[in-house]
Each structure stands twice: as C-alpha cells, then as structure tokens.
Structure 1
C-alpha cells in the first residue's frame, strides 16, 4: 500500500543513521552525491572553502531569474567575491547593532502576545510576524506585505524532495518549480530598491544603494540578492527556532520546569533545540579538486552534502546525542555553519529566540501544545513547524 504521507523528523533521522552505518562519508548512488555525516568531517568541509566551494552554477546552470537573484547572494558565492559582498553587509550587523535591537524585539513580542489571547497558533501569532517585522523594519520594506513574504517562503521551502534522483536533477526540477516566485521576488525588490535610491531613508537598503564596494557602487541588480537573502534568511531561521523550541519544550517538561526556575539556563536550552532540530538539515558544496575526507577520496567537481542534522547527533562528539541536555558541556553544533559562510544573522536569531521565549515562560504558567494539530515541513528540506496550536495559562 503506497502512502503520500509526508516524512516525519524521525523518518529523516532514521534515514541519516542508516547512511551512517556505511561510514561518516558515504556516496549515495541515487543522488549521485557525497553525504557527509560526521561532525569532524562536516567541520572540515565548512572550514575548507577553497576545496569545498559554494558556487554550484558550474554543475547546475541557473535560469535567468535565479542568476539575477544570485548576483548579490553571497551564500552561494566563493571568495573573493563572497568576501567583498559579505563584508559590505556585515558592516551593518555588528554586535552592538544587534544588541541595540533588544528593546524593540521585547516590545514587539509583548504586543503580538497581547493580541494573541490564550489559544493561538504560535506560527501565526508570533514565530512568523516577529522576525519578519524586525527584518523588514531594518531593510525599510513595508511590513504590510508580510503575507506576500510568507507565500514566497512557503513556496521555496514547503516542497518534497525525491530521494531516487540525483542532486543535479533535483536542483534543476526545483529551480523550474520556483522560477515564477523568483521572478516575482526580483520584480518586487528591484522596484523597492529603485525607490530607495531615489528616496533614501535611514534603513539598510538605502545604505546599500550608497555603499562603496572597492571603488564602485553596487548596482540595483546586485542589491536584489542582498535584500532578498536578508529578508528570507533573516526570518526563516528564527521562525523555525521559535516553533522548534516550544515543541521541544513540550516534549521535555522536566527540563523546561528547570528553565522556568532558572532563566539563565534558557540560552543553553535554545542551543540544544538548535542541535536537535536543526532548521536547515543540510547544505550543498562542490569540490574544486580531488580531496580526501573521512578516509574517503572524493573526485573534483562532485556534489558534497554536509548533513548538519547528522553532524549534530554524532555520538563521537555529543554524549547521548538524542537527549535534550541543558548542561551539555560543549555544545559545538554546526547549525549556523562554520568558517567563512557562518550565518551572518545567527546573533540576531539567537537574540529574538531568547527574548521571545523568556517572555513566554514568564507570562504563561503553562503552555499546552495541541499535538494532534501540529503540522511540520518536510524535514529533508527544513525542520520546522507550519502550525503549532497552543493553549496557554497566564501566570
């Protein structure tokens, strides 16, 4: 009997552990790519950007719409261009800049929860609007377009990945599926950027239209990738982390009772959530040359898939890896990446999660999850909930 049921997180974890029985670096025939499962091995890939590149365009040509977005998307670039563009944006994301956002995040969280009542869907009420409003305000983008941004994110992330095709075939098919959304995004951002160039404000987009990149201005098309990346990546991870946190807390009541008694444990709790429910479970790299990894020789021009979820559960590094452990001594998870491509927005995502979850734990004596109505994304694409109905009891 065939089933169309979407795979669960446990299905995905079982798949990873089945691969791990073959080794920490495994060639998957169907996907025609190298799965990297071990924590040390994934770290090596992430830190060695010279050998494991992020630009996939050589193996999978991009459509015109993707190529336009890609001009400023430094996540899928190699140095030196990656360093130049990332450096431009990182000037805005200083530790001081992120820390200074805490009062606004606190106030917005309270405002959203005030409006939510005692029975609400966490994603609709808080986990989605909070980071979207924060990043949209930062960029100067109208927060009234939240529904549009959510539709884009859902189209890009809420899809099935066939496990019987090569990564090149999968990327080509998925690219074709999302081209209309990419075109819509490009048109939206281009119109917004042109307006900001004519009518600059004090937002980050206006700053990007004025920035000097090695003696030249960024053109509007380059800024599209910057703004689109910051808007989508700037909210998706926080949305996932908030939902994943409440779900994980629900499954570990004793540990969360301890956090309630001592809120200084909350950052450690968040790191365990990030480790156990890694929002983006895998990333992609391409070998620029033949390389040995984990005792295996990988030829040049091969797809390499660091499986972050598997690395975060490597028992060689994490004792009792499936356990939610508030006092894990060295939680060196790879959820936000490592090396030159480490997530630029990680400090902001952590801040938003810490502020929002602290307020919820202080405000509600009990947070009950309606487990039967929880809906999750395909974990082969993203580990996150799309619906998380709650009933809360105010203190």
Structure 2
C-alpha cells in the first residue's frame, strides 16, 4: 500500500493500483462483464500505444452514442487524418511558443495566489490548479474569461460520473450517467460551435480562427470538426495540469521529507513532477479497438475488440520500476506513460510541465508551511478515467 492511500483511506476498489494491486501476474485479461480486454503491464501498454495500425483510437465504432462527438476529435482519430489535424496546432505548443507563454502563466498564478494570500486555508484545486490551466487554454482558443465559470460547470458535471464503462447491457443508473455526461459534452460543443460561426465572419488571432481557416486535403473543417477538436483541447488541455499540480501537493504532504528536500533545492522540481505523473497518473487508462487479431502479453485478442490499457498499473509495473509503491522523485529511470506514447503522445505535455513548475515554485515562495488540511480531507474523483482529487483543502500555517 502507498503512504498516500493509507493516509487518506482511498477506496481500494476504485484506486486498486495504490494498494499494490498492479495485476501484473496477469498483464492481459478479458473481463466478461464489460466485454473489455484489460492491459495492465507496462510493455504491453507501450505496445498498444505505439501501434495505431493495430490498436485504433476510433472507439466510436463500438460506442454509437458518442459518435456525434468523434468528428474532428483528434483523440478518436488514426493516422493519416490524426496526423493532419494535429499539425494544425503544433505551433502553439513548440518550445518557443511555451517560452512566450511563460510570463502570462506567471501573471495568472500571481493573480490567483494574491486572492488567497491572507487566508488561513483554501481549496488548492478551485483556487489555483483548475483556473490556471483552463485560463491558459481558453485564452489560446480565444474564449472570453467571462465564460470560464460556465464551461467549468459543464466540465465538472461531465467528470462527475462514477460508473465503469461496459460494452454489455447497462442498468438504468449507468445508462442515465452516460446520457448525463453526453448532455454536458453537447453543451460545450454547442457553445464552441457558436464561436466557430463567429470566427468565420469575424476572424481573430486565436487557435479557433486558425482551425476555422485551415484546410486539410484541400477542404475546410466542418463546424462540428472544429467544435469537437476545440472541445478535446479545452478538456484535455486543463485536466492533466489540474491533476498534476494537485496530486503533487498531495504527494508532498504524504512524504514530508520530499517536501523539505525540494523546497531546499528547487532543482528537484522536474524530477518531482515526473514521479508525481508516475505515482498518481492523471489519466487512468487509454482505450483502443483492435483492427485485426493481435498478440499482447502472450494472449491473442481478436479483431474489433475493445482494449483498455491501464496507465496507472503500467506505471507501477515492478518489471520496469523499482519499489513502485514508494514515491521517489530521485528515480534515475522513470519511463512512465502518463502522457501516453506514440502518435497520440499528449501534445500539451510540455505546457503542463511548465505550468506545474511555475505553480509549485510560487506555492513554495508564498506558503512555506503549506500542507493538506488534516481536519478537512481531500475529496477524490469518482470518474473512473481520472486519478486524483476533485477538492483539496490546504492550510497555510
């Protein structure tokens, strides 16, 4: 069991990987109830991520109710279409572009912390870890600050589901949760579609305008493609950073000796963030569909089968990581898959790392005694696809 799981009594069923249950004795297993093949091992997960010709991201072919949101959503596309769409936004995440964003990130962090500096405590997620990345990505897209709270409401509702996905028969509760989540996605894409129409007649200097004006194979993207593309950027563009910042603070609280060491030597922050990504990976799993029969971990999986590769267990595979249940920022070998691998490697990974580094340095500077509130424990996320806290009260003295 990890120290973090023990301290906060994390649900052992929901967060099984935090209790040493990496299921590595059976790195690939079929779940009869859900109809899904689960991949738990690290090399097996890398195999799934690195072979899009065998493991397709087009999961909508087995999940018809989400098909309307797949058009233009790069997380659901395979090469060459995925490659072509991804190229449309790579310029926004180059090292130079991220360097140019850094002053703005510093300013946002400073403004957010100014609002809580005189308090004895605050919610780290609501007051910093969420508004920082959502402000950055919304500004890149060209979404007005006045609408951030509106989007926040839809995203929070979408993320609040607790049911595991299944290809089998669903009971009423699961069916209602799926429809509720889809309803929130419709709110977001409808909102973004309105902005897409505005950019067609009144272009601006933002990513939405570039997507509206872009051509792929000689054709402009449809309104749905741009809206779905922007939706993926908006949600994926802030969830990972939100969870990385808050989970790192959770880890520092559970390992006070690490907190003391990294505060004394800030050069340890990059290693701290990489270990946080491994130890409490923001995304629990990646889902693919097989295009043909394929062997994974000595098991043959047939064509048109759904495969769930568990990032959280892959990052605790004892075949790859020494003492995987211990939080060790000084690891010299940390090939975690928190940001994925291959063609779908998170395009915003460098930005997430930069935002998190700036946020942590600012927290260390302003709050020398910051720690989780012992009388007001964190509330962990119920969404099975996300790993971390939904609410994280901290005290400053």
- Deviation readout 1:192-217 (Å, 9 max, x if unpaired): 11112211111111122222222222
1:104 is the counterpart of 2:104: yes
Q: Secondary structure at the match of 1:366?
A: coil
Task: Report the CA distance between 1:50 and its aligned residue.
Answer: 0.5
1:376 is the counterpart of 2:387: no
Quote the RMSD (CA, aligned, Å): 2.1
**1:251 matched to which residue of 2?**
254
Alpha-carbon separation, structure 1, partners of 2:168 and 2:335: 28
Give matches, 1:48-67, under 5 Å: 48-62=51-65, 66-67=66-67
Alpha-carbon contact 2:161-2:181 (below 8 Å) kept: no
Q: Secondary structure at the match of 1:222?
A: helix
TM-score, length-normalised on structure 1? 0.92
Alpha-carbon separation, structure 2, partners of 1:93 and 1:344: 7
1:364 is the counterpart of 2:367: yes
**2:89 matched to which residue of 1?**
89
Alpha-carbon separation, structure 2, partners of 1:109 and 1:19: 36
**2:340 matched to which residue of 1?**
337
Structure 1, unmatched stretches of 5+, are 1-6
Alpha-carbon contact 2:42-2:315 (below 8 Å) kept: yes
> CA distance change for structure 1 residues 252 and 168 in 2, over 3 Å: closer, same or farther?
farther
1:386 is the counterpart of 2:390: yes
Task: Report the CA distance between 1:272 and its aligned residue.
Answer: 0.7
Task: Report the CA distance between 1:11 and its aligned residue.
Answer: 3.3
Q: Secondary structure at the match of 2:308?
A: strand
Task: Report the CA distance between 1:124 and its aligned residue.
Answer: 1.4
Give matches, 1:340-355, under 5 Å: 340-355=343-358
Task: Report the CA distance between 1:84 and its aligned residue.
Answer: 1.4
Give matches, 1:1-395, under 5 Å: 8=10, 10-14=12-16, 18=21, 20=23, 22-62=25-65, 66-117=66-117, 118=119, 119-162=121-164, 165-166=166-167, 169=170, 174-371=177-374, 372-378=376-382, 380-393=384-397
Task: Report the CA distance between 1:169 and its aligned residue.
Answer: 4.7
- Deviation readout 1:258-290 (Å, 9 max, x if unpaired): 101110100100111111111110111111111
Task: Report the CA distance between 1:61 and its aligned residue.
Answer: 1.4
Q: Secondary structure at the match of 2:357?
A: helix
In the alignment of these two chains, the number of paired residues is: 384
Task: Report the CA distance between 1:314 and its aligned residue.
Answer: 0.4
* 170-179 or 336-345, larger mean C-alpha shift: 170-179
* 11-20 or 203-212, larger mean C-alpha shift: 11-20
Alpha-carbon contact 1:47-1:338 (below 8 Å) kept: yes
Structure 2, unmatched stretches of 5+, are 1-8
Alpha-carbon separation, structure 1, partners of 2:242 and 2:202: 31
Task: Report the CA distance between 1:178 and its aligned residue.
Answer: 2.1
* 348-357 or 142-151, larger mean C-alpha shift: 142-151
Alpha-carbon separation, structure 2, partners of 1:166 and 1:69: 18
* 86-95 or 8-17, larger mean C-alpha shift: 8-17
Alpha-carbon contact 2:49-2:341 (below 8 Å) kept: yes
> CA distance change for structure 1 residues 174 and 72 in 2, over 3 Å: closer, same or farther?
farther
* 373-382 or 235-244, larger mean C-alpha shift: 373-382
Task: Report the CA distance between 1:143 and its aligned residue.
Answer: 1.4
Alpha-carbon separation, structure 2, partners of 1:281 and 1:39: 13
Alpha-carbon separation, structure 2, partners of 1:362 and 1:179: 41
- Deviation readout 1:111-143 (Å, 9 max, x if unpaired): 110111332111111111111111111111011
TM-score, length-normalised on structure 2? 0.91
- Deviation readout 1:332-351 (Å, 9 max, x if unpaired): 10000000111111111111
Alpha-carbon contact 1:88-1:213 (below 8 Å) kept: no
- Deviation readout 1:160-207 (Å, 9 max, x if unpaired): 1248x5468599765423232222222211111111221111111112
> CA distance change for structure 1 residues 21 and 68 in 2, over 3 Å: closer, same or farther?
closer
* 177-186 or 263-272, larger mean C-alpha shift: 177-186
Q: Secondary structure at the match of 2:338?
A: coil
Q: Secondary structure at the match of 1:283?
A: strand
